[in-house]
Every structure is written in structure tokens, then in C-alpha cells.
Amino acid sequence: MKARVTVTLKNGVLDPQGKAIEGALGSLGVAGVESVRQGKLFDVELATEDRAEAEATLKAMCEKLLANTVIESYRYDIAG
């Protein structure tokens, strides 16, 4: 079973990486960019074909490793 996990910074959390990208885009001559916030995405392949089991595994993956739940929020979308 395939799934995509997206991890993004919670609102209000400063994103220095995003700020650096904004600055770099300006110096590269790309105008009209008001803000950029960077996140992570993970394309995951799970052994199970059971949806509930897949959701439990994805939740454990996020809570234990993929997301720092103090400053980040996550969501996962199971394909199919």
C-alpha cells in the first residue's frame, strides 16, 4: 500500500529556511514571491494491504520519527 506523508511547520513557527529561500529568489531575480515555507514529504510503501493497519503504521512513523510534533504537524494520504 502506498502513502504520502507531508510534514509542515505549525503556524506561527519561524521558518529560517523559508526566509533564506525568499532572499535567494530575490537575488536570483525571481520577483513576486511574498512568502515561502519549507516542509518535508515522504513517499512510503507499506507491506500491509489493510487500511486500518496502514494508518496505525503511518501514525507511529510520524509520531516517533518523521515529525517533531512540538513544532510540526503531519498528515498522510493513503493511495487508492
CA distance 31 to 5: 30
**12: contact with a second copy by CB under 8 A:** no
**55: contact with a second copy by CB under 8 A:** no
**31: contact with a second copy by CB under 8 A:** yes
10, 13, 14, 30: which one contacts a second copy (CB under 8 A)?
A: 30
φ, ψ for residue 24 (rounded to 5)?
Answer: -65, -40
**38: contact with a second copy by CB under 8 A:** yes
Reduced to 3 states (helix: H, G, I; strand: E, B; else coil), residue 51 is helix
What is the DSSP-derived secondary structure letter of residue 17? H
What is the DSSP-derived secondary structure letter of residue 61? H
Positions touching a second copy (CB under 8 A) are 6, 8, 18, 21, 24-25, 28, 30-48, 53, 57, 60-61, 64-66
